[in-house]
Amino acid sequence: KLNRYNIRRNVKACSYLTALAAPSKFMLGLHNNVNIKGQKFNEVIYNSVDFKKLPLSAEQIEQKENMVLYAGRLTEEKGILTLIKAVNELEGVRLLLIGRGELAERIKNENKVEVVDWMDRESLYTYMKKAKAVILPAEWDEAFGRILIEAIYNGTIGIGSDRGGIPEVLGFDEKYIFHAGDADGLRKRIERVISMSPIEYKEEIDRQQNMTSGFTDEKYVENWEKFFLQQLR
């Protein structure tokens, strides 16, 4: 709040902006609401992932473990405690937390929870492919939610909270979006994914991959080129 107050006080400097780009509609609106906006152009340029979508067969899906995964900072505002509570209410499901943070020591002995230190991207992707779902349970406003795109492109269903730009990444699909801090709502969505048959899971991951097909490096570069060319006209 203090930062936003200072921004409003000094917003006159932003009147010189010709154009503004943000990684989500949420972030663009957040800036516009404090009068930070381009005088000619205000564009959303979504972040991207630098690899191709991994198609999965029903047989490969059948080999997935009854595990859900989170990767990132292990702090309260990331919704870690809500995630742990949701998983603790599910039978036969374990939670893998990958990362570091102030909660790491506190939660490492929790039932059904395994905490693993941060790792290289390829190792992370290997774990993602084993999981039934990757969760982004943020209780603060995420600008985008790239980890969900990485999960979906690796053939794993993404579930996220309704904070910040996360709903945009998931196409505002309520089957995979829960109210931040609502452990019961998150539990129901995890339970639904875990109980899917391999055929049902394949249909859903195919749909999520199609929905997120625009988050590629090619599209990212194309949008930035278009953005800068607009300034030259």
Task: Give 21-39 pLDDT, tens digit per residue.
Answer: 999 999 999 888 878 888 8
What's the predicted TM-score (pTM) here?
A: 0.91
Q: In the structure encoding, which two tokens stand for residue 65, read together?
A: 């473990």
Model pLDDT for residues 92-133, shown as the tens digit of each residue: 999 999 999 999 988 988 888 999 999 999 999 999 999 999
Q: What is the pLDDT averaged over residues 193-215?
A: 94
| Residue (of 112, 111, 138, 116) closest to 127 by Cα position | 116
Between CA 156 and CA 133 the distance in angstroms is: 6
| Antiparallel, parallel or unpaired: β 19-22 and 41-44 | parallel
Q: In the structure encoding, which two tokens stand for residue 47, read together?
A: 């972040």
Angle 10-12-18 (CA atoms, 0-180°, nearest 5)? 125
CA 64: distance to chain centroid?
21
Between CA 125 and CA 136 the distance in angstroms is: 16
Q: What is the pLDDT averaged over residues 169-175?
A: 96
User: What SS3 state is found at 214?
Assistant: coil
